[in-house]
Structure 1
Amino acid sequence: MLLAVSSMGLLLGSFLNVCIYRIPRGESVVFPPSHCPQCGERLGPGELVPVFSYLWQRGRCAHCGAPIGWRYPLVELLTALLLTLLYRRFGFSLELFYYSGLTALLIVISFIDLDTMIIPTPLVGAGVAGAIAYNLYTGQPLRDWLLTGVFAYGLFYLIYFISRGGMGGGDVRLAGLLGLVLGWRLLACALLVAFVSGALLALLLLASGRATRKTAVPFGPFLALGYFVALLWGHSLLNWYLGLFF
């Protein structure tokens, strides 16, 4: 079963690559079929095999020889890894499908944010709709998710207001989504991971001279990282952290 989940993750990752490329351009993620963005040639079945087609073609289009970005196999492998971890955590259950869908959504959001510094509102809206539907269907207490979502949205809106746009509006909406999904305890862990990892990267970029204090750094990927760490190991991390002081 683990192999099947990993294989499905690779296939899903291949589709997520299509979403990452096409959504910012306003293109359909279904039509036309997958093709080389340089020469426009439609990809054959052998060219659609995740990871292996990239290796077989040595990172180049088989038709025009244009280089294929290394991010394509990265997204495929990342998706397979995350879905495998989710399966080990939740087994074959409704939770697996729910969190796998959210994880896929956050992968797309993260890479689009890296490329464009924009988090598409419709993607966050889809996540919010899914989170509300899941919480209502499974009977989660309103105070555990709705209030947390409102709090997270309000907190990030305050940061957005104080920073005068230093925090993007997409980050505000994404934080609200994570509040709906995680609840207050895991949200605290997710935000801690997001802010610490974001600060460490910013310091590294400043120290290496690759960025200045005015350089914009997309925060969506750090929120996505915080979500996944909190989802899998949040309670253990919180207990360890609180144990340092109490």
Structure 2
Amino acid sequence: MGDPSFLLHVYIFVLGLCVGSFLNVVIYRLPNNQSIVSPGSHCPDCGAPVRARDNIPLLSWLFLFGLCRDCGVVIPFRYFFVELVTGLLTLAVVTRFGVTLSALFYLLLAWALIAVTFIDLNFQIIPDELTVGAAALGLAVSFLTPLGIKGALLGLGVGGGIFFALAIIYPGGMGGGDIKLMAAIGAFTGWKLALLTIFTSSLLGAVVGIMSMAFYGKSRKDRIPFGPFLSAGALISILWGDTMIAAYLNMIL
């Protein structure tokens, strides 16, 4: 018999791949105001239904060389990448928290953040269905986790409140989608990790912004979607936030 721990990790990874396949549907359809339920998976160019054998995460894209079986149009690499990232991230969260309610709690946020990231990159919008929905879900299930409803409400208020204040102080500098996304993140992480998320995402955004200006000729007026940085900051906080905060406190105390 195989190692039970190894088999569990394989199952978790495959689960993540399947979720990633669904997230690809969300990423494509939600910004285009299409149902994420019906019709079933189909080629975005010719509309041909995707056969079951062509809908296997990762493998189908590789076996078809990233092409539609019916019309031969190129299927973007993003489909493969989203599935892979979701599988790896799902495995990372479960490895960090074990097979627990806390792991499921954070996975719900992580999966939403993946969709947010690619939608914001492609369309420069963050749909309310993801942000408001995630915030409501975070509050609804928080009582099942150590965070609790009070911690979730405080995190939502701190995360969303800081960004709302920034939007008032610097009009046009912070979009409504970013405010709602940060509120949703806070509902899942609590106020401490919400603050760490803001710091980490701002640092990442600054580094990428400077590199874009230095190497790609971007100017300060060129808009860079901030949703991906918030998502990255939140995921870093979820996986390593407690360790980062403890290390910081040891340095200053």
Give the structure-1-normalised TM-score: 0.94
- Name 2:170's counterpart in structure 1: 163
Q: 1:110 aligns with which of 107, 113, 117?
A: 117
Counterparts of 1:34 and 1:210, CA distance in 2 = 39
- Name 1:126's counterpart in structure 2: 133
Q: Does residue 1:186 correspond to 2:183, yes or no?
A: no
- Name 1:9's counterpart in structure 2: 16
Residues 70-219 of structure 1 aligned to structure 2 (within 5 Å) = 70-138=77-145, 140=147, 143-219=150-226
Identity %: 37
C-alpha contact (below 8 Å) 2:9/2:91 kept by paired residues:
yes
C-alpha contact (below 8 Å) 2:158/2:194 kept by paired residues:
no
Letter in 2 for 1:107: I
Letter in 1 for 2:82: V
Counterparts of 1:11 and 1:140, CA distance in 2 = 28
Instruction: After TM superposition, give the deviation of residue 138 of structure 1 in Å.
Output: 4.1
Counterparts of 1:143 and 1:98, CA distance in 2 = 16
Counterparts of 1:156 and 1:187, CA distance in 2 = 11
Counterparts of 2:105 and 2:146, CA distance in 1 = 15
**Which stretch of structure 1 is more off in the superposition, 14-23 or 143-152?**
143-152
- Name 1:222's counterpart in structure 2: 229
Residues 234-245 of structure 1 aligned to structure 2 (within 5 Å) = 234-245=241-252
Instruction: After TM superposition, give the deviation of residue 42 of structure 1 in Å.
Output: 0.8
Counterparts of 2:71 and 2:137, CA distance in 1 = 41
Q: Unpaired segments of 5 or more residues in structure 1?
A: none
Q: Unpaired segments of 5 or more residues in structure 2?
A: 1-7
For residues 87 and 148 of structure 1, do their structure 2 counterparts lie closer, same or farther at Cα, with a shift above 3 Å needed?
closer
Counterparts of 1:43 and 1:218, CA distance in 2 = 32
Letter in 2 for 1:153: G
For residues 51 and 210 of structure 1, do their structure 2 counterparts lie closer, same or farther at Cα, with a shift above 3 Å needed?
farther
**Which stretch of structure 1 is more off in the superposition, 189-198 or 235-244?**
235-244
Letter in 1 for 2:106: Y
Residues 47-86 of structure 1 aligned to structure 2 (within 5 Å) = 47-86=54-93
Counterparts of 2:128 and 2:75, CA distance in 1 = 28
For residues 186 and 29 of structure 1, do their structure 2 counterparts lie closer, same or farther at Cα, with a shift above 3 Å needed?
same
C-alpha contact (below 8 Å) 2:138/2:152 kept by paired residues:
no
Residues 24-63 of structure 1 aligned to structure 2 (within 5 Å) = 24-63=31-70
Instruction: After TM superposition, give the deviation of residue 163 of structure 1 in Å.
Output: 2.4
Counterparts of 1:212 and 1:38, CA distance in 2 = 35
Counterparts of 2:192 and 2:158, CA distance in 1 = 12
Counterparts of 1:95 and 1:139, CA distance in 2 = 8
For residues 76 and 139 of structure 1, do their structure 2 counterparts lie closer, same or farther at Cα, with a shift above 3 Å needed?
closer
Letter in 1 for 2:124: M
Counterparts of 1:52 and 1:210, CA distance in 2 = 38
- Aligned residues between the structures: 246
Letter in 1 for 2:174: M
SS at match of 1:22: helix
Give the structure-2-normalised TM-score: 0.92
Counterparts of 2:210 and 2:248, CA distance in 1 = 23
